[in-house]
Amino acid sequence: MDVGQVTPEGSGDDKGVQPFVVLGVSAGIAAYKAVEVCRRLVDAGVHVAPVLTERATRFVGRATFDALGSEPTQMSVWDEASPIPHTRLGQLADLIVVAPATADLLARYAAGIADDLLTTTLVATAAPVLVCPAMHTEMWEHPSVRDNLDTLRSRGVFVVPPEDGRLAGGDVGSGRMAEPSNIVAAVLAMLEARSASTANTASTAGTAGDLTGVRVLVSAGGTREAIDPVRFITNRSSGKQGHAVAAAAVRRGAQVVLVTTSSQPRPPGAEVVDVETAEEMEQVMLARAQDADVVVMAAAVADFRPKVVVDTKLHKADGIPDLVLEATNDILAELGRRRRPGQVLVGFAAETDDVSERARAKLVAKGVDLMVANDVSAPQVGFDHDTNAVTIFGADGTVTSVPLAAKSLVADAVLDRVCPLIGGSGA
Ligand code: CTP
């Protein structure tokens, strides 16, 4: 990803040209992964200033960051030629990323304690901050850690949540720091959003970066239900709106999984899972929703499929087949039943009549937070058009009308409604 032009090494004062990132490393075993974050950011053309806590060096040596970073590693407010290194770093930074952020570091940052160079820099900066927590599952689930993160989030700090997996000591659970590639992707997306916003070129300048670290699962396209090996039943959905939602979520910093039947261009940065039938989509969506903070069902899932799929081509000479249909499962309703606390669920309703009545009924029946309804009988709206006009119904009774606009803008309008709901108590 292009995040700017590289300037001569160590020229911190040229930060206008090269993005300047302070990489904070606190004392967790995941500090070894911060080495990879450092290297990848430098490779991407970012000026990286490593700042380690004293105890982080028990896990990884400062010489490693000296060698890989863009300037010598700093650890103390006292060991630099400049008498106020935290102010220099805080002012130069376009972004500060803390990876790993331990429970202790999060607590000190949330409390405003500035007792080493890293926490002092965090308190002394106006730059956006991204924290990447890493700790054992018991610590990650401790209410104090949750409260501190909520406090930081409420102050605008971005979070790349930890993942499930193997932890130090062989335990398995939640709390493992996000993979370096995901952290780097989040940093680059935030830098890009920031430069777009500075240049005032992006239509989404005000919203870019606000989904950093959020895991968004999107479905798109009409499912295809086979009759025989050459024929299927489908619908008019192109997948354009779902792909636009996925692309907008990537642009805003989310980690996106797109489950699609569509051959529309793949949004760069999204993980794409191709499916064809309602049944395949159901399996993937239910599995991947377990790790999602936001689920958007933009797909047009078939309600019926042939009860029997003939495994050789049906021929005219055999006569008109007697097509018997059976119902598919309602994926969105099942997602609504299974959803985790705090997970945001969004449905789409393409209607031709009684739009708001039907959409409100589906909102309740499927247990979602938001139902995005469009009247596909209106000109330039919905199926296969590049434009859409929608009304977004909220479970809280709020209604937002989005007049005819490019599907990318409609996608942003939907995500604008999603953002305040993330981590809430759910519908
Ligand atoms: N949906 C789903 N699984 C289905 C059918 C629909 O997950 N088997 C989801 C769609 O992805 C969409 C929402 O439910 O987000 C509403 O879909 P829609 O087709 O408008 O509603 P239906 O429940 O199919 O009801 P009807 O056909 O009566 O309009």
**Domain termination site, one of 129, 161, 192:** 192
Helices and strands (H, E) in the chain, number of each type:
13, 19
- Least confident among 136-140, 142-146, 158-162, 301-305: 158-162
Band of pLDDT at residue 397, cut at 50, 70 and 90: very high
Same domain, 244 and 320: yes
Query: What is the best residue among 281, 331, 362, 364 to mutate for testing ligand 1's pocket, by most ligand atoms within 8 Å of CB?
Result: 362
**Domain termination site, one of 192, 223, 240:** 192
Q: Cis omega before residue 100 (within 30°)?
A: yes
For the beta sheet containing 387-394, the strands, ordered from the edge strand earlier in sequence to the opposite edge, are 271-274, 255-260, 215-220, 294-297, 344-351, 370-375, 387-394, 399-406
Separation of 329 CA from ligand 1 center, angstroms?
Answer: 10
Domains: count for the chain:
2
Closest residue to atom 16 of ligand 1, CA basis: 349
Catalytic residue positions? 235
Query: What is the best residue among 283, 330, 370 to mutate for testing ligand 1's pocket, by most ligand atoms within 8 Å of CB?
Result: 330
Same domain, 57 and 142: yes
Q: At which residue do the structure tokens 């969506």 appear?
A: 285
Average predicted confidence (pLDDT) for the chain: 88
Same domain, 220 and 355: yes
Separation of 249 CA from ligand 1 center, angstroms?
Answer: 22
Band of pLDDT at residue 282, cut at 50, 70 and 90: very high
Separation of 230 CA from ligand 1 center, angstroms?
Answer: 26
For the CA of 327, the closest atom of ligand 1 is 8
Enter the tokens of residue 285.
Answer: 């969506």
**Domain termination site, one of 192, 214, 245:** 192
Cα separation values, 425 from 175, 217, 292, 335, 396, Å: 22, 19, 15, 16, 12
Same domain, 378 and 255: yes
Same domain, 48 and 186: yes
Same domain, 214 and 271: yes
Q: Which pLDDT score is estimated for 78?
A: 82
60 part of a folded domain: yes
CB of 120 within 8 A of CB of 91? no
Is the pLDDT at 198 greater than 60, yes or no? Answer: no
CA distance 69 to 48: 5
Query: What is the best residue among 219, 303, 328 to mutate for testing ligand 1's pocket, by most ligand atoms within 8 Å of CB?
Result: 303
Band of pLDDT at residue 251, cut at 50, 70 and 90: confident
Band of pLDDT at residue 207, cut at 50, 70 and 90: low
Enter the tokens of residue 146.
Answer: 């949750």
15 part of a folded domain: no
Closest residue to atom 24 of ligand 1, CA basis: 303
215 part of a folded domain: yes
**Beta-strand pair 304-306/325-327:** antiparallel
Q: Which pLDDT score is estimated for 83?
A: 66
Q: Which pLDDT score is estimated for 252?
A: 87
Better-scored residue on pLDDT, 255 or 99: 99
CA distance 224 to 306: 11
What burial letters (b/e) apply to 351-377, b meaning 16+ CB within 10 Å? beeebeebbbebbeebbbbbbbbbbbe
Q: Which pLDDT score is estimated for 80?
A: 60
Cα separation values, 61 from 51, 52, 81, 146, Å: 12, 9, 21, 30
Band of pLDDT at residue 339, cut at 50, 70 and 90: very high
Better-scored residue on pLDDT, 390 or 87: 390
Closest residue to atom 8 of ligand 1, CA basis: 330
For the CA of 285, the closest atom of ligand 1 is 7
- Report helix, strand or coil for 311: coil
Same domain, 211 and 93: no
Is the pLDDT at 290 greater than 90, yes or no? Answer: yes
For the CA of 219, the closest atom of ligand 1 is 11
Any residues with Cβ below 6 Å from ligand 1, and which? Answer: 278, 297, 299, 301, 303, 328, 330-332, 347-350, 362
| CATH classification at residue 338 | 3.40.50.10300
Same domain, 46 and 100: yes
Rounded to an integer, the average pLDDT of 35-53 is: 97
Tens of pLDDT, residue by residue over 143-187, are 999 999 888 877 778 888 888 888 777 788 888 998 998 889 888
Q: Which pLDDT score is estimated for 362?
A: 97
Q: At what angle do helices 180-199 and 240-251 cross, to 10 degrees?
A: 90
* Full residue range of the structural domain in which residue 255 is found: 205-421
In the 3-class helix/strand/coil scheme, how is 328-364 assigned residue by residue? CCCHHHHHHHHCCCCCEEEEEEEECCCHHHHHHHHHH
Tens of pLDDT, residue by residue over 348-360, are 999 989 999 999 9
CA distance 313 to 317: 12
Query: What is the best residue among 285, 297, 356, 391 to mutate for testing ligand 1's pocket, by most ligand atoms within 8 Å of CB?
Result: 297
For the CA of 347, the closest atom of ligand 1 is 15
Separation of 331 CA from ligand 1 center, angstroms?
Answer: 8
Q: At which residue do the structure tokens 């949330």 appear?
A: 110
Which residues are within 8 A (CB) of 311 and not within 5 positions of it... i.e. 6 or more apart?
228, 229
What burial letters (b/e) apply to 220-231, b meaning 16+ CB within 10 Å? bbbbbbbbbeee
Same domain, 412 and 354: yes
Highest mean pLDDT among 15-24, 101-110, 183-192: 101-110
Better-scored residue on pLDDT, 71 or 13: 71
Q: Which pLDDT score is estimated for 197?
A: 54
Is the pLDDT at 380 greater than 80, yes or no? Answer: no
Separation of 81 CA from ligand 1 center, angstroms?
Answer: 64
Q: Which pLDDT score is estimated for 387?
A: 87
231 part of a folded domain: yes
| CATH classification at residue 35 | 3.40.50.1950
Q: Which pLDDT score is estimated for 155?
A: 79
Band of pLDDT at residue 325, cut at 50, 70 and 90: very high
CB of 130 within 8 A of CB of 187? yes
CB of 92 within 8 A of CB of 121? no
Separation of 99 CA from ligand 1 center, angstroms?
Answer: 41
Rounded to an integer, the average pLDDT of 30-39 is: 97
Separation of 52 CA from ligand 1 center, angstroms?
Answer: 51
Same domain, 259 and 407: yes
Better-scored residue on pLDDT, 96 or 195: 96
Same domain, 107 and 162: yes
For the CA of 349, the closest atom of ligand 1 is 20
For the CA of 333, the closest atom of ligand 1 is 7
364 part of a folded domain: yes
Rounded to an integer, the average pLDDT of 18-31 is: 96
Band of pLDDT at residue 202, cut at 50, 70 and 90: very low
Same domain, 134 and 78: yes
Is the pLDDT at 13 greater than 60, yes or no? Answer: no
Closest residue to atom 26 of ligand 1, CA basis: 303
390 part of a folded domain: yes
122 part of a folded domain: yes
CA distance 247 to 242: 9
Is the pLDDT at 3 greater than 70, yes or no? Answer: no
Is the pLDDT at 42 greater than 90, yes or no? Answer: yes
Query: Which among 173, 150, 177 has a CA at the least distance from the CA of 25?
Result: 177
